[in-house]
Amino acid sequence: MVAEQLRARGIADERIIQAMARVPRHEFTPSPYRDQAYEDHPLPIGQGQTISQPYIVALMLEALAVKPDDKVLEVGTGSGYVTALLAELAAEVFSIERHARLAEEARAILARLGYRNVRPFVGDGSQGLPEHAPYDAILVSAAALKLPPALVAQLAEGGRMIIPVGPGDAQQLQLVTIRNGQPQVQLRELCRFVPLVEDEP
């Protein structure tokens, strides 16, 4: 996976390469698909959701430029795979998932693998997690129709957010950076994620 899907396609950040070599992706893959855990595509994890394709995860992590002392928010814990990668790269990871069952399964696997710097939450992550803001980095694993203002507001000065934006078949990653208090948006790769579901207030 690391050689053929990541390095060969230009992923060069050694911290990310090492983290992706270390985190056992099969542990986060449901048993019917475990033999495909290191293949180049997303896989079902139940509740109509998927564990993201390794290459797109690497692209998102590279864009986010997570530093060892960063406080990170992840929206859409899903399997917990990206949570584990963020836990390897950052000091503290807050992760929120709206499906209680997925959140509980991910929590159990992350605990079993010994990640102690992860704090899992159940809820609507489109509103972020204001009680622990601001964040140095925010990674969103589900596609929003437009940039969620609550998430932009929870970024620290110099903070970065990577988020897929757009409808089903026309999504693009956006990298938001806060400079002098203002969000700057950079359009990145095209992508395909499950939708970010916003719960009614």
Residues marked active site are found at 52
Beta bridge partners of 176: 161, 185
Spell out, one character per residue from 16 to 55, where the chain touches ligand SAH: x when CB under 6 A holds, - when not.
-----------------------------x---xxxx---
Total chain residues near ligand SAH (CB under 6 A): 25
Query: Could you say whether residue 148 binds ligand SAH (CB under 6 A)?
Result: no
CA 197 – CA 126 distance, rounded (Å):
8
CA of 178: how far to CAs of 61, 91, 159, 184, in Å?
Answer: 17, 20, 6, 6
* Residue 128 lies near ligand SAH (rule: CB under 6 A): no
Interface residue with ligand SAH, options 125, 128, 164, 166 (CB under 6 A): 125
Q: Tell the burial category of 127 from Cβ atoms under 10 Å away from its Cβ (0-12, 13-18, 19+).
A: middle
**Among 62, 63, 66, 76, interactor with ligand SAH by CB under 6 A:** 76
The verdict on 126 binding ligand SAH (CB under 6 A) reads: yes
d(CA 171, CA 189): 9
For residue 101, the minimal CB distance to ligand SAH (Å) is 10
Nearer to ligand SAH, 35 or 157 (CB): 35
Instruction: Give the Cα separation of 2 and 175 in Å (integer).
Output: 24
Residues making up the chain, counted from first to last: 201
Which range, of 97-105, 111-119, 169-177, 181-189, touches ligand SAH by CB under 6 A? Answer: 97-105
C-beta neighbour count of 79 within 10 angstroms: 25
Residue closer to ligand SAH by CB (options 50, 154) is: 50
